A and B are shown apart, each in its own frame.
Chain A
Amino acid sequence: MGVEGIGASVVRKEDKRFITGKGRYVDDIKLQGMTHAQFVRSPHAHAKVKGIDSSAALKMPGVVAVLTGQQIVDDKVGNLICGWAVSSKDGTPMKMGAWPAMAPETVRFVGQAVAVVIAETKNQAKDAAEAVVVDYEELPAVANIRAAIAPGAAQLHPEAPGNVVYDWAIGDEAAVKDAFSKAANVVTLELTNNRLVPNAMEPRAAIAEYNDAEEHFTLYTTSQNPHVARLVLSAFYNIAPEHKLRVIAPDVGGGFGSKIFIYPEEMVALWASKKVNRPVKWTGDRTEAFLTDAHGRDHVSKAELAFDKDNKILGLRVKTHANFGAYMSLFSSSVPTYLYATLLSGQYNIPAIYAEVMGVYTNSSPVDAYRGAGRPEASFLIERLMETSARQLKVDPAELRRKNFITVFPHQTPVIMAYDTGDFNASLDAALKTVDYAGFPARQAKAKSEGKLRGIGFSCYIEACGIAPSKAVGSLGAGVGLWESAEVRVNPVGTIEILTGSHSHGQGHETTFAQLISERLGVPISQVQIVHGDTDKVQFGMGTYGSRSLAVGGSAIIKAMEKVEAKAKKIAAHQLEASEDDIVIENGEFKVTGTDKSIALPMVALAAYTAHNLPDGMEPGLKESAFYDPSNFTFPAGTYICEIEVDPGTGKTSFVNFVAADDFGRLINPMIVEGQVHGGLTQGIGQALLEGAVYDDSGQLVTASFMDYAMPRADDVPTYKLQHTTTLCPGNPLGVKGCGEAGAIGASAAVINAITNAIGNNKLEMPATPDRVWHAIHGQA
C-alpha cells in the first residue's frame, strides 16, 4: 500500500472546514429575497380538520402567505409514497392510506402539518403560525400496537381495516412445525424492541428556489440521497420534471437513515416557492425533529427456538408486530420484512425458520429505517434468544453459539439470504481473548464481595449490507434499483475528480474514496477531489444508507477507474512508443516495464486533452463513468461482549468492558472504520440503556426534546476495545463489507444479556433504566 492508499489511517481531507467553522450546511445558506416557513402542526393525535382561519395571521407583520393542506391537494401535488410493495401472506397487496403533504381533512399524529406560514423572517413566521386558528374535532386515538389491534379500536385509514397494513410471512411453516415436534428443548422469549428517535444533530432543513423564467426549481436539502429525492419529487409528487429540478445536499450533519426519506416539508417548500415566487427556507427545530423525523424500531415479538438433545438448533419461529406510525414512510414496508426477517438466522445453522410480521398503523409519527433498519431488531431477537437458551439449557453461552455457528460458505439460510463468507469462530475467539473471559468468574466473585453484581453478555451479530442487487430487491417489491454510479474525470493538468452518487454526511467519503485512487495511481489524496450531493454535477446515484457506500459506490469508482486506466495506458504506450501490455502504473507515472522509460500522469492527461498525438481513432479526453450493481449483499459479522456492573442498591449500571470484534472484510481507512464502530455501538447502547420514544395513551409524544429523551452523553458510554478479523468479501472488487451499522445492530443485545446475567433475572425491557433494573432485582414492590 502507498502511504495514503488502502489500509492507511490518514486524517480526513474534509475535517479542516468542519473544525474551523467553514462547513456549509443547509441552514447556513441564504438566498436573495429568501422567505421563511413555519408549519402549523396538529396538537392532536387524531382529529378532523373542520376549518382553518388564517385571517388574523395574514394581517401580521411580514406575512407573505398562509397556505393550507386543501390548497396543496387542489394543486395536485402528489401524496407521499411508500417505495417498496410488500404483500400479505394471502397475496393481497399492502393496505395503505393516503398521506398528503399537509392534511386537508384528517390529522393522524401529533405534529402533522395542516398549514404553513411564509413570512419575511423566521420569527415573523413563528408569530403568525401561532395566530392561525384551526378548528379540530378530536377523534379517538390508538397510540401503540396493542391499542391499534384491539377489538373496536379507532381506525386510522378506511383502506386498512383493523389498522393492519399487511400480515406477512417468510419461511416454511410446516418444516418449522415438524422441527418443534422433534425438539428435546424449546426456549421461548417475548421481547419488545423499543422505539427510537434518530436525532442527527443537524435538524432537517430545506431551501427551495423557483425561477419562473426557466420554470426551474433548486432545492437545498438535508438528504442522504439527493438523486432519489429528485426522482421521487418529479415522478410522484408532480413538483417538476427531473431536468427542471436540481437537488443539492451540501454538508449534512448526520443522517442515520432519517434523511433518506423525502418529507412533507421539502415538498411544501418547493410548492410554496412557486406560489410566492420567492425562495422559501424551512429549518426544523429539535421538537419538530422529534415529531416529524421518521422514528425507528418499535417491534413486539414472540420467538421460540427448538433444540435437539445435543443443543443443536432445529428451528426458529417468530411472530412480530411492527408499528408503522400513522403513514407508510418511503421504505417503511421493507424494514420489518426484508431487512429484518431475512436476518433471523443470525450466525447459526437453523434448518427451518418461519416468521410472521404484522405491520400496524398507530396515531404516532411514521416509522422507517434507522441505523441498521430491521437488522438490529433481528440481531437483538436472536441474540437474546441464544443467551436465554444457554441459561435455560445450562450451557456456556459462547459454546452454545459456537456449536451452532455456520462454518461452511457459501451458506443458504431458509430466509432468502446466501451468506458468502465469514469466520464466526475467529471473531468470537478474538472477543473472548480481549475481554479475558477465563478471568470473568474471579472478577465476578470479587465484585460480589464488594456488594456489586457483575455480568457478562454476548452478541454474535450478522447483517446484510451493500444494499443491494437490483434484480433481487426488484423481485421482492423494491421500486428502485440499488446500484451505484461513479465518474472519474482526469483533468488536463492531471488532478482527478471523482463524481459519486454516494453521499457523505459524516462517513468520510472525501478521504476514503480518494484513498482508492491513491492506491491505484500512486498520487497523493490531495490531488483527488470527491464531488457528491448535487444532481447537476453527478448524473445519478442511489445515495448512502445500508452501509453501502464503499461496497457499492466504491466498487463503481473502481469500475470507472479501470476504464480510465485502460485508456491512459494506451495513450502512454503511444507516447512512449511501447506496447500497451508493457505499461505499469507506479507513483503517478506510467512506466514501460523493464526500462527506464516513463511518462507522468499529468503528461498523459495533457496529451488526452490536447489530442495532438493520440493513437489513431481515439477520442480526446480522459473521463469515464460506470454503474455497479452488486451481485449479492455483503455480510459483516462479529462478536460483541459487554461486561457490566450493577449497583443493587440503585439499579445503576456501569460498564467494565465493551469489546467489539468485527469482520468488515478489507479496511480502506481503519481510523474511519473504527469511528463508525464507536458511533454505532453508542447508538446500540443508547437503545439498551437510555433511549425510548414514549407516547401516552392519547398519542402525545412525551419525549419530544433532549430534556425528556435520553441521548447518550460522554459519561454514559465506555472507551471501547476494538478488534478486527478479516474474511474478504468475494462479491465486490474491493473485498469490503461495510461498517456503518454494525455497532448499532450488535450492541444492544450484548448489554441486555450482560445486565440480565448480572441480576439473575432474564425479564428486562429496553431501555434498562436504573428504575427498571432495580425493579428487576427487587420485584415491583
Chain B
Amino acid sequence: MSTVKLTVNGRAVSAEVEDRTLLVHLLRDHLNLTGTHVGCDTSQCGACVVHVDGRAVKSCTMLVGQANGANVTTIEGISKGDELHPMQAAFRDNHGLQCGYCTPGMIMSAIDIVNRHGGQLDEATVRQELEGNICRCTGYHNIVKSVLDAAGRMKVSAAAE
C-alpha cells in the first residue's frame, strides 16, 4: 500500500491504495468520479482518457504512483458551473454521442487534439488523431463534426479570454 497525493479537478486529494492500482480505478472507485470509463483491457478504446498535467492520458495505463503529484482533470472537471466546455457543447449540438459510454474519453481526447493543433484542424487530421478512441454507436461522422465545430468555438473563447 502507498499513499499518493495529487490534484484532481482542482481539488487536492490523498489516498491510500494498493501499488497496483491504476489511475482509472482511483478516480472511479476511491473518488467516485465515474464519468471516466473502462471499455477494454488493452489501452485501445480510449473510454478512460483524462488529462494529466494538461495532456491526454489513458488512465487505465497509468499506475496511481505515476500520477503522484500530478494535476489530473476528468470529464467532471471541464465545465465552469453550468457553462459547458465548448467541446461538450459541440458534442451535444452535433449529436456526437449516442450511448454516451465512449463520450467522456472522446471529449477529453478531442480537447487535447484541438489544443495540440492550435485549432488548425481538418477532417482527415481529426480522423487520424481519433485513432485511440473507439465508438461503436456514431460511426464517427458526428464526432468528427463535433470536434471541428468545437475547434472553432475554442478559438473564439480563447480569443475572448
CB pair B99–A682 under 8 Å, yes or no, is no
Q: Which of B32-40, B51-59, B63-71, B152-160 contacts A (4 or more CB under 8 A)?
A: B32-40
Bits for A538-559, please: 1 = Cβ < 8 Å to B, else 0: 0000000000000000000000
CB pair B93–A506 under 8 Å, yes or no, is no
Q: How many residues of A contact B (CB 8 A)?
A: 56
B21 to chain A, nearest CB (A): 8
Interface contacts beyond A17-B100, A286-B42: sample of 9 additional A-B pairs, CB < 8 Å, sorted by A: A15-B100, A20-B75, A25-B34, A200-B101, A201-B45, A285-B41, A678-B139, A706-B45, A720-B141
CB pair B91–A19 under 8 Å, yes or no, is yes
**List of B residues within 8 angstroms of A706 by Cβ:** 40, 42, 44-45, 134
A469 interface residue (CB < 8 Å to B): no
A671 interface residue (CB < 8 Å to B): yes
CB pair A707–B44 under 8 Å, yes or no, is yes
Q: Enumerate the 6 nearest inter-chain pairs by beta-carbon distance, A residue then B residue, closest first.
A: A21-B35, A18-B100, A253-B101, A506-B99, A682-B139, A706-B44
**List of A residues within 8 angstroms of B97 by Cβ:** 15, 18-19
Q: Which residue in chain A gives the minimum CB-CB distance to B44?
A: A706
A88 interface residue (CB < 8 Å to B): no
Expressed in whole angstroms, the Cα–Cα distance for A679 and B47 within the complex equals 18
CB pair B141–A678 under 8 Å, yes or no, is yes
CB pair B95–A11 under 8 Å, yes or no, is yes
Q: Which residue in chain A gives the minimum CB-CB distance to B34?
A: A28
CB pair A199–B136 under 8 Å, yes or no, is yes
CB pair A21–B95 under 8 Å, yes or no, is no
Q: Which of A131-139, A361-369, A565-573, A709-717 contacts B (4 or more CB under 8 A)?
A: A709-717
Q: How large is the interface on B (under 10, 10 to 19, 20 to 34, 35 or more residues)?
A: 35 or more
Tell me the dominant secondary structure on chain B's binding face: loop
> What residues of chain A have their CB less than 8 Å away from a CB belonging to chain B?
11-12, 14-25, 27-28, 123, 199-203, 251-254, 256, 285-287, 505-508, 671-672, 674-675, 678-683, 705-707, 711-715, 717, 719-720, 743
CB pair A19–B88 under 8 Å, yes or no, is yes
**List of A residues within 8 angstroms of B76 by Cβ:** 20-22
CB pair A714–B136 under 8 Å, yes or no, is no
B98 to chain A, nearest CB (A): 4
A207 to chain B, nearest CB (A): 14
**List of B residues within 8 angstroms of A22 by Cβ:** 35, 76
Q: Contacting B135 at CB < 8 Å: which of A20, A201, A252, A681?
A: A201
The B121-143 residues at the A interface (CB cut-off 8 A) are 123-124, 126-128, 130-131, 133-143
**List of B residues within 8 angstroms of A681 by Cβ:** 139
Bits for B71-112, please: 1 = Cβ < 8 Å to A, else 0: 000111001000010001001110101111111100100000
CB pair B137–A506 under 8 Å, yes or no, is yes
Expressed in whole angstroms, the Cα–Cα distance for A251 and B103 within the complex equals 13
CB pair A25–B101 under 8 Å, yes or no, is yes
CB pair B95–A20 under 8 Å, yes or no, is no
CB pair B131–A201 under 8 Å, yes or no, is no
Q: Which residue in chain A gives the minimum CB-CB distance to B135?
A: A201
Expressed in whole angstroms, the Cα–Cα distance for A101 and B25 within the complex equals 29
**List of A residues within 8 angstroms of B139 by Cβ:** 678-683, 712, 717, 720, 743
B116 interface residue (CB < 8 Å to A): no
B20 interface residue (CB < 8 Å to A): yes
CB pair B102–A201 under 8 Å, yes or no, is yes
B56 to chain A, nearest CB (A): 15
Expressed in whole angstroms, the Cα–Cα distance for A14 and B103 within the complex equals 13
A91 to chain B, nearest CB (A): 41
Known: A285-B41, A679-B136. A16 touches B141 (CB 8 A): no
Q: Which residue in chain B gives the minimum CB-CB distance to A22?
A: B35
**List of B residues within 8 angstroms of A16 by Cβ:** 92
Expressed in whole angstroms, the Cα–Cα distance for A680 and B98 within the complex equals 12
Q: Contacting B98 at CB < 8 Å: which of A287, A506, A717?
A: A506
B18 interface residue (CB < 8 Å to A): yes
**List of A residues within 8 angstroms of B104 by Cβ:** 18-19, 21
A and B contact pairs by CB, cutoff 8 A, 16 listed: A11-B92, A21-B75, A199-B136, A201-B99, A201-B102, A203-B38, A253-B100, A253-B101, A675-B137, A675-B138, A678-B142, A679-B139, A681-B139, A713-B140, A714-B143, A717-B139
Expressed in whole angstroms, the Cα–Cα distance for A253 and B134 within the complex equals 13
CB pair B101–A682 under 8 Å, yes or no, is no
**List of B residues within 8 angstroms of A719 by Cβ:** 123, 141, 144
A138 to chain B, nearest CB (A): 26
B63 to chain A, nearest CB (A): 13
Q: Which residue in chain B gives the minimum CB-CB distance to A15?
A: B92
CB pair B39–A286 under 8 Å, yes or no, is yes
Q: Contacting B37 at CB < 8 Å: which of A25, A679, A707, A743?
A: A25
Expressed in whole angstroms, the Cα–Cα distance for A19 and B135 within the complex equals 14
CB pair A253–B99 under 8 Å, yes or no, is yes
**List of A residues within 8 angstroms of B84 by Cβ:** 19-20
Expressed in whole angstroms, the Cα–Cα distance for A58 and B98 within the complex equals 43
B74 to chain A, nearest CB (A): 7
**List of B residues within 8 angstroms of A285 by Cβ:** 38, 40-41
CB pair A23–B44 under 8 Å, yes or no, is no
Q: Contacting B137 at CB < 8 Å: which of A25, A674, A679?
A: A679
**List of B residues within 8 angstroms of A743 by Cβ:** 139
**List of A residues within 8 angstroms of B98 by Cβ:** 254, 506-508, 675, 679
Expressed in whole angstroms, the Cα–Cα distance for A20 and B79 within the complex equals 8
Q: Contacting A201 at CB < 8 Å: which of B75, B91, B101, B142?
A: B101
